[in-house]
Amino acid sequence: LVPAMASGMLRRPLEHRPGLLDKIYPAYQRAVVWSLNHKAAVLSGALALLVLTGLVTVRRGFSFMPDMDMNSVSVTVSMPEDCTREEAVRYTDEVARRCMTVEGVDAVGATIQADTALTLMSADVGENDAQLYITLPDNYSGTEAGREIEKLCADMDCTVSADNVMSGMMSYVTGSGVSLNVYCEDMETLQSTAQAIAARMEQVDGTSDVSDGLEDAAQALRVTIDRTKAMEHGMTVAQIYMQIASALTSSTAGTDMVLDDTSMQLIIEQDEASRLTYEKLPELKIDPNSAMSAATAATGGSGTSGASGGSLSGDGDTDKKESFLLKDVATVEKTVSLNTISRDQQRRCVTVTAGIADGRNVTLVSSEVTKAVQAMTLPDGVTIEFNGENEQIMKAMGQVMLMLLLGVVLVYFVMVAQFQSLREPFIVMFTIPLAFTGGFMALLLSGTELSVISLIGFVMLVGIIVNNGIVLVDCINQQRLAGMERREAVIDAGVTRLRPILMTSLTTILGLIVTALAKNAGTSLIQPVALVCIGGLLYATLMTLFVVPCMYELVSKKKLHTVDEKELELLKD
């Protein structure tokens, strides 16, 4: 299409018109000559800047997606414990009323324990917890509105947390914060280790809302019976437990009754004063004779039972044993018992989680948590495995890095086929690190974290930035084939191709400026791509005009010549 249009439109003779570049050419020519005379300084400077910007960018941490300030807010209302349905409705109405006082809020939608996508995107939704959805005009910030809502509802008994909808969706996909599974088959060791790890995570700067995974555990009492002491009193552990279980029973089922053709069962409840409590349990009176009587009944009044701790005669007479207190043979302590036992790959586990404080990077905090947990001495049989947001980010970034590597390899092979050489494409490939340096600079200057989206910008740069190097190297080769000396050809090609190199780069840069500077929710997702491409093109275009000539003089030292038909015929013969 371009040749066809040029043949019809470019009929007038071309005339040279002096412009801005005519003033730049002499300065650029002097700069290229200086670069060729100081190759070590130019190349080492470019390498040092690449390493410096790369290290600083990586040390700032990674993120999965850039933060997007949408004009919508998702509010979660966590009800207090033992909250009834009616109380939950009143709390929700009050939160909605306060939300309506926020500037820009026209309407609030609320659901309580509804099976909706909004509920699914919210973690740990309780039975009566409410979800509120708020939309704002386009020029309003959902993040600021969410913070104001949290402040307005801070004095309420319920807990109100606000977040924009996109962040909730990303948390649902990738998880949020730090999460690790603690594995152990022994329940007591599992719980104590989870509590110890949670306590250690709370000490790490940047963590918030640390959970040991035992919040839903029920209060329990552990009675540990000394088997030797029990045998001294003529009883087994099982017999003592049977008497404890009987004493803990607070109700007894009576006979069935029929009243007015209605069947019912009579239940006899003990009064509060007679019921066994934690304080009374160690003082529980254990009667060995009761256990012997039960054993006698079980054997039909004859024979001998070693389990009863005493001898049973044929006529049912027994040796009388003195009663004793439970604390004489056992210890009683408070503990907790999990309502549910979770298993992962047939291994019993508890999940310990922690949120990330505002303004902190999840990968940096996760790294500190990993160091802190790995420094702990875990009990035998306990293993841990991290599976939080950081692990998802690293997995996704690893996949994008593989794409980047494949892109570099494919670009190199294409240039090998184009130049019919393995050496000259290697010269052009040096423009890729220059583009990466510019991309890192753009992220640092804009305060943007390295993310999966920004890495896509680096993948794009691999295919874009080599164009300038290809144009420059091809022009140098043409000039050398025309009879120019190598250095003269390098300098002349740089001046000749300066205009098209600048034109191709500026068109791409200007086309991406709108995306890079826009502030609405639609463009904020792709904004890191534009920033990386603009920064990479600006820096790499400038440095390509100096680094490629230096690399060409270092690598391409052999004289070029064109193979004509006569040489091919001689080779054939």
Helices and strands (H, E) in the chain, number of each type: 21, 17
What CA–CA distance (Å, rounded) separates 542 from 476?
Answer: 18
Q: Match 């990674």 to its residue by tokens.
A: 62
Angle at 417 between CA 415 and CA 423, to 5 degrees: 60
* pLDDT the model gives residue 362: 83
Are 368 and 217 spatial neighbours (Cβ–Cβ below 8 Å)? no
* pLDDT the model gives residue 442: 94
Tell me what the pLDDT averaged over the chain comes to: 80
| Residue in 48, 65, 64, 45 with CA at minimum distance from that of residue 56 | 48
- Strand-strand pairing, 130-135 and 72-78: antiparallel
Stronger pLDDT, 513 or 572, i.e. the higher one: 513
The model's pTM is 0.69
Beta-bridge partner residues of 221? 334
- Strand-strand pairing, 207-211 and 347-356: antiparallel
* pLDDT the model gives residue 410: 93
Q: What is the mean pLDDT of residues 137-157?
A: 81
Stronger pLDDT, 307 or 374, i.e. the higher one: 374
Are 308 and 263 spatial neighbours (Cβ–Cβ below 8 Å)? no
- Give 253's pLDDT tier (boundaries 50, 70, 90): low
Q: What is the mean pLDDT of residues 283-304?
A: 60
* pLDDT the model gives residue 31: 92
pLDDT of 126 > 90? The answer is: no
Stronger pLDDT, 215 or 38, i.e. the higher one: 38
- Give 313's pLDDT tier (boundaries 50, 70, 90): very low
* pLDDT the model gives residue 269: 64
Q: 170-213 pLDDT, tens per residue?
A: 555 555 678 888 898 887 888 888 889 988 988 888 888 888 87
Q: What is the mean pLDDT of residues 15-28?
A: 81
* pLDDT the model gives residue 125: 55
The Cβ of residue 280 has, within 10 Å, a number of other Cβ atoms equal to: 12
Q: 74-115 pLDDT, tens per residue?
A: 888 888 877 888 888 988 998 898 888 888 887 888 888 654
The pair of structure tokens assigned to 4 is 């066809």
Contacts of 430 (CB under 8 A, 6+ apart): 469, 547, 548, 551
| Residue in 215, 495, 486, 506 with CA at minimum distance from that of residue 336 | 215
pLDDT of 117 > 50? The answer is: no
Q: Match 């309780």 to its residue by tokens.
A: 126
* pLDDT the model gives residue 573: 58
pLDDT of 13 > 90? The answer is: no
What CA–CA distance (Å, rounded) separates 419 from 421?
Answer: 5
- Give 47's pLDDT tier (boundaries 50, 70, 90): very high
* pLDDT the model gives residue 134: 84
What CA–CA distance (Å, rounded) separates 383 from 525?
Answer: 38
Lowest mean pLDDT among 324-328, 424-428, 540-544: 324-328
What CA–CA distance (Å, rounded) separates 289 from 216?
Answer: 41
* Range with top average pLDDT, 224-228, 442-446, 480-484: 442-446
287, amino acid identity: D
Contacts of 355 (CB under 8 A, 6+ apart): 176, 177, 178, 207, 208, 209, 210
- Give 537's pLDDT tier (boundaries 50, 70, 90): very high
In percent, the amount of the chain with pLDDT more than 90 equals 18
pLDDT of 121 > 60? The answer is: no
